[in-house]
Each structure stands twice: as structure tokens, then as C-alpha cells.
């Protein structure tokens, strides 16, 4: 007989098994085991939103095995992830295994190391039903919105669409930003910079025009700029004021989920989904040479900046031993967690400070190393002393001899590092805007300066940038929409469903995404209102804290939502929104009308808009610029069953040519046939009799290819 411990993943099971040893059987649930039925609403609205749960398809055998193990075990411990989803999984497992809900069988690990695992097993608690109810409320809300709203927008715009409760708000933010960009009217402005030196120093520095004897001047056109330039013709430059000071720069706090996703996006180019996948691997455990399986970081879904005093002491000890005591602050630094954050978990930090990124690099994948290095350095830097900078701000006067009452004022600023502090390990310049980045020579009041060059330049104000993944996550966090565990999935959904596309790493709405938002703003304004959605998130937090009944919360939302849906259906009866991207110039082979793109059970297809009068359809194909190397017909883009893009001959099945390589617009210099680009960036001819190939340039579709 032994004790059974159930976790969520095999990697986590392997790591925990090592720490518990004999007498413990550790198994993985492989995530959720029970959920609302996939093909029906599964929520009985008339019976206070009673959910109808079913075992997830494919998990039947696993549940049977766990039931048998539980029956033959002395004790069953539920050690799923320490958050709402993890609590719900434990509750579902307890229900399926017939466990006593009042039994002390719930175990939580904020980090997976020997001490944390042992302490967790020795101090189990009851399943937190408030946490479970918060998860149930979220799940039921999302199901109600999805199952009631998605058919409506599918009917009015295009078959197969979905409108999620939180994803719709994220989509609106992107669409609204696009509207701002389109409406933006640029304003002209000019700058004047003087390139100066302070003899005997030959080092040049830049001073920027600020104003003249009348005060600050904004240069709005060429004429006003030229007027100032005439004043500066033949002028001499001298320092009129010098202000010196010391600037203290504090390190950024350790990561929470959102800031980890933002920083990994900015520094590494990782998507939020990719970042969370790698962080999950680091948390659950990796095989480290000389140590074995170990969880390298604490739980990665958190919005708290709190760290344990034990981890602080370990970090301080490492800093003192490796950098010296001067790199520790005089007093410990504590970061304030925002008011609406959940404080159940620590900030994301390394589980063992002594395991530096370099020590474990050989045991990690490239992705794991990059994320671990980011987390380790950010955490250690957050414990270190401030960076001290000597700052200099100089006011410089340009005046012409004999005209004392006419002069121009220039400003120059710069700094030098007095003490590097935390920046020896992690420079957060990417987070902060510096006042000046140049190093100024020694300047004193009255110092005569030598002018090397005057440069004027025209500028135009720029529209706001489209959101990147990082900036969208930051906005969702600031507005209180979603929670750390949902950001990655929100982004994945709106990208996978073609509501949004990436253009140079920025998020742009498609015509489809814009149409969905326009419809929702018109008919369901609350669904895409950030304050309303944030309020619902706050209600879920209250349920989690035991201060709000989740049935009451569901009624408060659904009763009004259902009434709004009825009004929307009535006002749009017979209305169909037409998208330009669904129109084509391909004539119907039966009646001559231009075909339109439709979406059916098996994807897109071309259809006659004259249905039911004309029922002509044809398969949807995306032609490329390439020609088949076998028969010379057009090469078309296709999708595999798993959604991966490949290319084949349009003359299939007469010609069976297919390839994963992407056709280019260029032809082979040897035989004249289409060149293809492989995933390894090799440009090659796929005519077997030719065999031409060369390494591709970094720029796709380069003219030389």
C-alpha cells in the first residue's frame, strides 16, 4: 500500500516523485479531466446555471486507472497547480474518485524543490470551494457568452465565428487603436541642434534649441526655424548655467506573469504562448546534470510582487559572495503589489539562487535557457543596490557680438555612471526613458564653446503605434481585463481565428475582426466595454475570497445579456453583413455572377451569391506565383489536417506534386523553373533533373533570388 499523489503533468510527476521517494505513487491527470460537454450548452439556466460536466473525451481510461489506484491507496493527495484552474481540477478529481471534500488532501507547491514538496505533503488542506466556484463562474460565463453570442455573429457575418467574453475586449482594443491611427492628422515641427565642443576637449556633444530671450519657442514651420537660424548666424556659444546632481536608479521588481510575457516579447521576440510554455517546463522540472530533475522557478501564473524572506536571504548571500557587500542596499527593498492583484503566490523567481543560468545552461534547451536567464537576472537585480549616476544639465547661450538683447538658449544633458549597482547584472534601460544618454565634457559657467555644426530638421508627429503583444498585455493588465493565466490564450485565439494578423511584430485587425467589433459595439456594448469586463473580473475575485455568491453574479450578468440578445436578433432580422475580403472577381460558371468566399464545415469554398437560385460551388484555392516543376500548372497553397501549410499542384490528382517548401516569384538560373524556399532557408529548384540550390538571403523574396 502507498500514498497516491496526483499532479497535472508527467514532468511535474517525475520531479516530485524524486523528492518523495518510496511509499508514494505520483501520477499525472494530464490537465483537466472533466468539463462542460463540447457540443452543447451544458448549463441549465433555469436551474441556477447548473453545469453538466462530463469526462473529457480520451480521458476515460486514465480516470479508471486513477480510480483503481485511489481505491488501493492509504491516502490520496491532490497536488494540481496552485490557482483557480488547479483547484477546479482537484475538485473534479475528488468528485470522480469519490473522495471526501472535507478531507485534508489538497497540496500546493509554489515551487518544486525538496523543502517545498515535503512541506506541502506534511501540511495538506481542504479543497477551497470558493476558489472552485470562482473558476466555475468564469467557465459558465464564457460558455454562456460563447454559445449564445457566437451563433448570432456567425449568422450575421460569416459561418464559424466566435465571440469570447474577454477576447472580444482585447480585439476591440486593437480595432480602436487602428481607428486612432487612421484618424490621426500629423503636425509639423522642427528641431535645431548644435554640435559643440569645450576646448581643449575635442569630444563633441549635442545641445538642443529651447528658446530665445522671449521664452520657450515651439518651431512649427520652416519660416520660424529659418528666423532662428538667422539669429544664430555668426553667434558664439557659452555655458550660462550648470546643474549637477546624482540620480538613483532602482531596479525593476521581479517578474509577474504579465511582465515576464512583455519582457520576453521585447527582448527575445517570444509570443506570450511560447513564453508560458517554456516557463511551465522550468516550473515543473528539468533534468539538471549532477542534480537530477528539479523545478528551476516558482509558479509562473501570479500577479504578486511578494517574495519569501528565505529566498531574499539566499539571494543576498549569493550577491554578497559574488559581487561584494556594496552591491546590497542598506535596507531590503520591498515592491508594492497593485491593489487588485491576487497575493496567493510569490513573484516569479528562481527556486535556488545558487543555480545560475550558466550552471544549468548545458541541461536546458535554448528557449529554456533564455527564459531562465531573464527570470534569474531580473530577480537577483531586484535585490541589489541602486545604480548611481552623476548627472549634468547645462544651459548654453548663443549670442552675437554687439547685440546683447538677442540670444538663443540651448540645453544639453548627460550622465556618467558613478556606481553600476544592479545594472552589472540586469540593465532595465528598455523599460525606462533616459533624460539624456550622452556623456558631456567638463562644463562650468562662463565656459566658451566651439561650434562645429548647426543642424535643423523637419519632423511630423507620429500616430500611436499598433499594439505589440507586449503592449497589449500591459493594457489588459492596466484595465483589469483578464488575469495572468488568460493573456496568452486571448492572443492565441484572436490570431488563430484571423481576427488579427501580425505585421512586423505588431497586431493589426483584419476586416473580419473589425466587422465583429463594430457589430458588438452596436448591439452588445457591455460585452466589449473594458470597465464592465474589469468589473466582472473583480466580481470573480470576490467569489474567490468568499465574499460574493457566484449564482447571484451569473444572474446579474445573464438576465440582462439575454434581453440584449433578443433585441439584437429582432433589430437585425434578415440583415447580413458583407465583407470585401469575401468578394472575388471569379465568375460563376453557371450564371456569371462573381463568386463569394463562404465557410462550411470543412473550411472555405467558393459559392455563387445567387443561392438558392444558383447552387454552383467550387473548392477554395490560394494560388501562388509558382509553377509546378513537374507539369507547369499553378502551385496552390493547401492546409494539412493539423492546419499546417503545404503546397501542391493545382492539377491534382492528375499531377501529385506536393512540397513543404514555399514557392518564390523567381526562376531557376539553370532551367528556368520556379525556385522554392525551404524551412532551412535554402533556395532550390525542385526539378530532380536540375538540382540547383543556394543559401537564401535573410530577406525573403530578395531580388537576387
Q: Which residues pair with 73 in a beta bridge?
A: 2
Q: Are strands 583-587 and 594-600 parallel, antiparallel or unpaired?
A: antiparallel
Going from the C-alpha of 675 to that of each of 323, 660, 698, the distances in angstroms are: 55, 13, 16
How far apart, in whole angstroms, are the C-alpha atoms of residue 144 and residue 475? Answer: 26
How far apart, in whole angstroms, are the C-alpha atoms of residue 407 and residue 400? Answer: 7
How far apart, in whole angstroms, are the C-alpha atoms of residue 626 and residue 363? Answer: 43
Q: What's phi and psi for 277, nearest 5 deg?
A: -65, -45
| Secondary structure of residue 251 in the 3-state scheme | coil
Query: Sign of torsion, CA 310 314 315 317?
Result: positive
| Secondary structure of residue 267 in the 3-state scheme | helix
How far apart, in whole angstroms, are the C-alpha atoms of residue 449 and residue 490? Answer: 57
Going from the C-alpha of 235 to that of each of 225, 240, 403, the distances in angstroms are: 16, 15, 10
How far apart, in whole angstroms, are the C-alpha atoms of residue 111 and residue 283? Answer: 7
How far apart, in whole angstroms, are the C-alpha atoms of residue 505 and residue 519? Answer: 27
Q: Identify the active-site residue in 19, 77, 283, 299.
A: 299
- For residue 7, count other CB atoms closer than 10 A to its CB: 28
| Secondary structure of residue 196 in the 3-state scheme | strand
> 299 an active-site residue?
yes
Residue 570 is placed in which grid cell? Answer: 429582432
Q: Which residues pair with 205 in a beta bridge?
A: 196
543: alpha, beta or left? (left if phi > 0; alpha if psi -120 to 50): alpha
Cα angle, residue 452 at apex, residues 451 and 454 outer, rounded to 5°: 85
How far apart, in whole angstroms, are the C-alpha atoms of residue 37 and residue 39? Answer: 6
Which helix (H) or strand (E) segment holds residue 147: the answer is: helix 129-156
| Secondary structure of residue 243 in the 3-state scheme | strand
Which residue shows C-alpha cell 485565439? Answer: 493
Which residue shows C-alpha cell 487602428? Answer: 178
Q: Dmax over Cα atoms in the chain, in whole Å? A: 102
| Secondary structure of residue 569 in the 3-state scheme | helix
| Secondary structure of residue 43 in the 3-state scheme | strand
Identify whether the C-beta of residue 226 lies closer than 8 Å to the C-beta of residue 267.
Answer: no
How far apart, in whole angstroms, are the C-alpha atoms of residue 631 and residue 549? Answer: 68
| Closest residue by Cα to residue 435 from 262, 573, 247 | 247
How far apart, in whole angstroms, are the C-alpha atoms of residue 549 and residue 137? Answer: 10
How far apart, in whole angstroms, are the C-alpha atoms of residue 198 and residue 439? Answer: 13
| Secondary structure of residue 246 in the 3-state scheme | strand
Which residue shows C-alpha cell 538560373? Answer: 669
The contacts found for 697-701 with CB under 8 angstroms, 24 or more apart, are 701/664, 701/665, 701/666
Helices assigned H by DSSP within 184-338:
222-232, 257-263, 272-284, 309-322
DSSP assignment of 119-146:
HHHHS-B---HHHHHHHHHHHHHHHHHH
Helices assigned H by DSSP within 323-416:
357-360, 366-382
Residue 446 is placed in which grid cell? Answer: 562662463
Identify whether the C-beta of residue 486 lies closer than 8 Å to the C-beta of residue 527.
Answer: no
Catalytic residues: 299
Amino acid at each position: 500500500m502507498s500514498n497516491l499523489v496526483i499532479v497535472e503533468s508527467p514532468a511535474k510527476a517525475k520531479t516530485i516523485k524524486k523528492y518523495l521517494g518510496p511509499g508514494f505513487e505520483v501520477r499525472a491527470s494530464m490537465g483537466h479531466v472533466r468539463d462542460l460537454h463540447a457540443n452543447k450548452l451544458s448549463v441549465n439556466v433555469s436551474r441556477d446555471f447548473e453545469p453538466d460536466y462530463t469526462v473529457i473525451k480520451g480521458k476515460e481510461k486514465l480516470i479508471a486507472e486513477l480510480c483503481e489506484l485511489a481505491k488501493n491507496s492509504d491516502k490520496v493527495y491532490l497536488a494540481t497547480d496552485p490557482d483557480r484552474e488547479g483547484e477546479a481540477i482537484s475538485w473534479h478529481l475528488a468528485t470522480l474518485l469519490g473522495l471526501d471534500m472535507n478531507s485534508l488532501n489538497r497540496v500546493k507547491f509554489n515551487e518544486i524543490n525538496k523543502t517545498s514538496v515535503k512541506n506541502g505533503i506534511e501540511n495538506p488542506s481542504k479543497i477551497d470551494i470558493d476558489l472552485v466556484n470562482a473558476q466555475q463562474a468564469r467557465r459558465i460565463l464564457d460558455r454562456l457568452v460563447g454559445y449564445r453570442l457566437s451563433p448570432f455573429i456567425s449568422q450575421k457575418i460569416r459561418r464559424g465565428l466566435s465571440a469570447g467574453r474577454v477576447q472580444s475586449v482585447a480585439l476591440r482594443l486593437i480595432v480602436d487603436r487602428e481607428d486612432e491611427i487612421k484618424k490621426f492628422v500629423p503636425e509639423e515641427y522642427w528641431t535645431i541642434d548644435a554640435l559643440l565642443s569645450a576646448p581643449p576637449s575635442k569630444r563633441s556633444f549635442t545641445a538642443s534649441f529651447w528658446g530665445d530671450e522671449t521664452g520657450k519657442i515651439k518651431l512649427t514651420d520652416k519660416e520660424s526655424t529659418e528666423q532662428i537660424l538667422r539669429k544664430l548666424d555668426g553667434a558664439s556659444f557659452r555655458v550660462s548655467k550648470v546643474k549637477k546632481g546624482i540620480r538613483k536608479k532602482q531596479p525593476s521588481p521581479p517578474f509577474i506573469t504579465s511582465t515576464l510575457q512583455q519582457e520576453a516579447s521585447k527582448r527575445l521576440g517570444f509570443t506570450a504562448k511560447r513564453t508560458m510554455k517554456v516557463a511551465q517546463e522550468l516550473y515543473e522540472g528539468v533534468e539538471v546534470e549532477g542534480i537530477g530533475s528539479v523545478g528551476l522557478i516558482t509558479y509562473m501564473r501570479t500577479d504578486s510582487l511578494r517574495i519569501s524572506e528565505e529566498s531574499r536571504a539566499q539571494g543576498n548571500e549569493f550577491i554578497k559572495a559574488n559581487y561584494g557587500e556594496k552591491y546590497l542596499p542598506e535596507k531590503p527593498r520591498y515592491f508594492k503589489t497593485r491593489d487588485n492583484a491576487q497575493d496567493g503566490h510569490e513573484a516569479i523567481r528562481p527556486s535556488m539562487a545558487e543555480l545560475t543560468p550558466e550552471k544549468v545552461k548545458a541541461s536546458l534547451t535554448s528557449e529554456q535557457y533564455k527564459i531562465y536567464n531573464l527570470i534569474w537576472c531580473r530577480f537577483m537585480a531586484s535585490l541589489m543596490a541602486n545604480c548611481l549616476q552623476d548627472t549634468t544639465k547645462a544651459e548654453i547661450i548663443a549670442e552675437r557680438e554687439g547685440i546683447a538683447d538677442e540670444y538663443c538658449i540651448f540645453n544639453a544633458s548627460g550622465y556618467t555612471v558613478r556606481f553600476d549597482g544592479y545594472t552589472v547584472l540586469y540593465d532595465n534601460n528598455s523599460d525606462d526613458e533616459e533624460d539624456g544618454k550622452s556623456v558631456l565634457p567638463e562644463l562650468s559657467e562662463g565656459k566658451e564653446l566651439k561650434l562645429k555644426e548647426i543642424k535643423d530638421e523637419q519632423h511630423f508627429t507620429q500616430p500611436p503605434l499598433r499594439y505589440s503583444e507586449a503592449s497589449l498585455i500591459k493594457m489588459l493588465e492596466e484595465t483589469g481585463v483578464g488575469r495572468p493565466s488568460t493573456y496568452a490564450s486571448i492572443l492565441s485565439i484572436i490570431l488563430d481565428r484571423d481576427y488579427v494578423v501580425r505585421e512586423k511584430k505588431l497586431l493589426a485587425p483584419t476586416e473580419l475582426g473589425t466587422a465583429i467589433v463594430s457589430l458588438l459595439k452596436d448591439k452588445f456594448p457591455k460585452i466589449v466595454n473594458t470597465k464592465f469586463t474589469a468589473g466582472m473580473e473583480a466580481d470573480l475575485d470576490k467569489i474567490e475570497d468568499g465574499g460574493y455568491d457566484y449564482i447571484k453574479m451569473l444572474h446579474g450578468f445573464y438576465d440582462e445579456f439575454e434581453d440584449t440578445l433578443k433585441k439584437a436578433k429582432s433589430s437585425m432580422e434578415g440583415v447580413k453583413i458583407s465583407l470585401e475580403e469575401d468578394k472575388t472577381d471569379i465568375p460563376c460558371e453557371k450564371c456569371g455572377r462573381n463568386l463569394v468566399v463562404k465557410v462550411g464545415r470543412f473550411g472555405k469554398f467558393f459559392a455563387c451569391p445567387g443561392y438558392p437560385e444558383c447552387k454552383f460551388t467550387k473548392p477554395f484555392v490560394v494560388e501562388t506565383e509558382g509553377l509546378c516543376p513537374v507539369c507547369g500548372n499553378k502551385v496552390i497553397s493547401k492546409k494539412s489536417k493539423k492546419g499546417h501549410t503545404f503546397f501542391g499542384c493545382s492539377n491534382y490528382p492528375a499531377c501529385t506534386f506536393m512540397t513543404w517548401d514555399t514557392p518564390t516569384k523567381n526562376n531557376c538560373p539553370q532551367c528556368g523553373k520556379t525556385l522554392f524556399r525551404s524551412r532551412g532557408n535554402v533556395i532550390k529548384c525542385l526539378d530532380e533533373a536540375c538540382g540547383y540550390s543556394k543559401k537564401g538571403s535573410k530577406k525573403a523574396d530578395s531580388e537576387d533570388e
